[in-house]
Amino acid sequence: MTRAVLTLNAGSSSLKVALFPAAGDAPLATGIADRIGPEGVLKLVDTAGAPIAAAGDLSGHEGAMAAVIAAFRARWPGLDLLAIGHRVVHGGPDRQVPVTVDAGVLADLEGLSPFAPLHQPHNLAGIRAAMAAFPGVPQVACFDTAFHRGHPFVHDTFALPRALYDEGVRRYGFHGLSYQFIAGELAMRAPALAAGRVVVAHLGNGASMCAISAGRSVASTMGFSALDGLPMGTRTGQVDPGVLLYLMDQKGMTAAQISDLLYRRSGFLGLSGLSNDMRTLEAAGTPAAEEAIGYFIARCQREVAALAADMGGIDALVFCGGIGENSRRIRAGVAGGLAWMGLGLDPDRNAANARCISPDDAKVPVLVIPTNEELVIARAARVAVGLG
């Protein structure tokens, strides 16, 4: 019998999965059900990267869940699922730790959907599908907002009437599972840096940065929603609210049209007119693609400096996420433009994707640490059932 915990990250048309043993950090399998619907595709691989045969009804999340489990059970007969951990984008203003989901918790999380309309409903759909498929198996919700709940008031609010803050209109911050993993890795591998002031840049199709002082989140570039801060694949990042008023008053755009613009048609895609994928932009060489890359780098530089100011200085910069872990150009652009802050970059180390890409004598080290949100979720699921 194989005793294991399953992690799920449910999106609007995808279901990312990882199967972990009851103990240990190496997953037994990882994969994704992509383009859930008539053209759904399921890809699973084992810990060695070998494909795991998988097929089934991918017309909805429930079918995708059943197909994943059928494939895992065929590979590991007698599979015993001890718990299922879920990434949930929004936990609200009070939740600071993962929770085991029951009907009451699920109702509370549904009430937060207006705060994350493009993420929360799909996360909860994944939980419902897992509950239906595995009644009695503990479902553990892990929140992207939880890591940021200790922010001081000045980094938790907007200059709006206080009643709105009390109603929940505040800066929540996201990507918390990624930042929690990086903080833990630093504590193990570079405890002196972990005890100091670190800016972590989670750069990918979704992008943000976090100021972490002595292992705790101090400030984040993302605020009320996952739109704020850095430009992303299709999301705007920071934008003057007056632009939104202009679009409503002068262009006659509805809330739904503005939402589509901000979430799906802006960012790298909107600036370049070409793609939301940084790899495509770097290869394209068109003027618009180069401008999109330049804008992203400039905004990253600004946010690193701002977060350093929030901590009264910076002792290390850490890159993670798909772009942060793989784009030599972006890392060089960001770190190279911040030499005045003491950041240094070694071109050879950067080209080799080394763990440390700064010179040995750099005042502020620059590191590349692959993130692992799934492992954070798996560890939380183990704790929930008494294995941690």
| Predicted pLDDT of residue 266 | 97
| Predicted pLDDT of residue 14 | 83
Most confidently modeled range among 22-36, 45-59, 313-327: 313-327
Please state the rounded mean pLDDT for residues 301-305.
98
Task: Let me know: does 199 contact 217? Beta carbons within 8 Å.
Answer: no
Q: Which fold has domain 191-368?
A: Nucleotidyltransferase; domain 5 (3.30.420)
Q: Where in the chain is the domain with CATH 3.30.420.40?
A: 3-143, 191-368
pLDDT digits (tens, 9 = 90+) for 178-219: 999 999 999 999 999 999 999 999 999 999 999 999 999 999
Residue from 222, 182, 188, 386 nearest 307 by CA: 222
Compute the half-sphere exposure of residue 244: CA atoms within 13 Å on the CB side of its CA: 14
pLDDT surpassing 90 at residue 333: yes
Which residues form the catalytic set? 144
Count CB neighbours of 183 within 10 A.
20
Q: What is the DSSP string of 3-62?
A: EEEEEEEE-SS-EEEEEEESS-SS-SEEEEEES-STT-EEEEEETTS-B-------SSHH
Handedness of CA 168, 172, 177, 180 (dihedral sign): negative
3-state secondary structure of 299: helix
For the record, the structure tokens of 359 come out as 């010179």
| Predicted pLDDT of residue 7 | 97
Percent of the chain past pLDDT 70, that is, above it, reads: 100
Residue from 61, 10, 69, 9 nearest 44 by CA: 69
| Predicted pLDDT of residue 282 | 98
305 vs 35, higher pLDDT? 305
Task: Let me know: does 89 contact 119? Beta carbons within 8 Å.
Answer: yes
pLDDT digits (tens, 9 = 90+) for 68-122: 989 999 999 999 999 999 999 999 999 999 999 999 999 999 999 988 888 899 8
Count CB neighbours of 351 within 10 A.
11
Helices 328-336, 287-311: axis angle to 10 degrees equals 50
For the chain, give the mean pLDDT.
Answer: 95
| Predicted pLDDT of residue 302 | 98
Task: Please state, in angstroms and rounded to a whole number, the distance separating the CA atoms of residues 364 and 138.
Answer: 43
Please state the rounded mean pLDDT for residues 284-310.
98
Please state the rounded mean pLDDT for residues 261-269.
96
Q: What are the Cα distances from residue 55, in Å, to 2, 75, 232, 339? A: 21, 13, 33, 51
| Predicted pLDDT of residue 174 | 96
Task: Let me know: does 282 contact 163? Beta carbons within 8 Å.
Answer: no
| Predicted pLDDT of residue 252 | 98
Task: Please state, in angstroms and rounded to a whole number, the distance separating the CA atoms of residues 282 and 96.
Answer: 38
Please state the rounded mean pLDDT for residues 11-26.
90
CATH architecture of 3-143: 2-Layer Sandwich (3.30)
pLDDT surpassing 80 at residue 13: no
pLDDT surpassing 90 at residue 352: yes
pLDDT digits (tens, 9 = 90+) for 121-175: 989 988 998 898 889 999 999 999 999 999 999 999 999 999 999 999 999 999 9
Task: Let me know: does 366 contact 333? Beta carbons within 8 Å.
Answer: no
pLDDT surpassing 90 at residue 36: no
pLDDT surpassing 90 at residue 312: yes
pLDDT band at 35 (very low <50, low <70, confident <90, very high): confident
E strands, the chain, are: 3-10, 15-21, 29-34, 41-46, 80-88, 99-100, 139-143, 197-202, 208-213, 216-220, 316-320, 366-368
E strands, 253-362, are: 316-320
| Predicted pLDDT of residue 185 | 98
